Amino acid sequence: MDRPITTLFMLMSVDGKISTGASDKLDVDTDFPKIEGVKEGLHQYYEIEQTTDLWSLNSGRVQAKIGVNTADMPNKTPVSFVIIDNKHLTEHGIRYFCALSKQFVLVTTNKNHPAFEVEEDNLHILYQDELSLQEVLTKLKGCYSCERITIQTGGTLNGLFLREKLMDYIDVVVAPVLIGGKNTSTLIDGNSLLSERELSQLGVLKLQDCTVLENSYLRLRYQVIH
């Protein structure tokens, strides 16, 4: 395989929501710790997250939403981060990830992204005229020896990985809550299928493990069958 093995790792509600609402002011990381019956088992997700791959792929929108553009500079970790972003990360956000990451790869189609103003030894910018996830993954393996990567993006980018058959495994922690709302982001968003001939784009899954966690949480792990 000329690209890394990918695993989508997410926290979601029983009805598949990865946010608590349709506003950027609402977020599971800030809201779940406040909800009785949900907060008690939340620590399990973060403990499992610490065991994921040493390469992590995220979106600038999600990272801006959780506050990296104003956060204090973090300590260095052994994790290398890939962020896909055109307009959400500021120069401070870029420097935040340089401080956090072993290697930091910024993927953008914006020629004026603030990342171009930052000079750090571990910062690498992949500029594309049009986003190609296949090309991103191929370069990560060929140029940076990335063999496995965990995907933790929003529903739209998750949908692109699925439709382009670039998703190998799914690892989800299910919180005991129903959120609802047709405009609230789900595990897989993006364009809906419109015809029978598009059914080949479905993600058919083979269950590898189902673990009952404490406080009514579940962990589900699947292989994606292409």
How confident is the model at residue 201, as a pLDDT? 87
Burial class (CB in 10 A: 0-12, 13-18, 19+), 17: buried
Cα gap 124→21, rounded to integer Å: 34
Name residue, tokens 């001939």.
197
Cα gap 194→62, rounded to integer Å: 28
How confident is the model at residue 195, as a pLDDT? 93
Tens-place pLDDT, residues 12-65: 999 999 999 999 889 999 999 999 999 999 999 999 999 999 999 999 999 999
Cα gap 58→149, rounded to integer Å: 10
Name residue, tokens 């949900």.
38
pLDDT band with cut points at 50, 70 and 90 for residue 226: confident
Enter the pTM of the model: 0.96
Check residues 214 and 66 and name the one with the higher pLDDT. Answer: 214
Q: Which two tokens stand for residue 122?
A: 């571990």
For the chain, list the domains and their CATH numbers.
5-225 (3.40.430.10)
Burial class (CB in 10 A: 0-12, 13-18, 19+), 137: buried
Contact 49, 24 (CB under 8 A): no
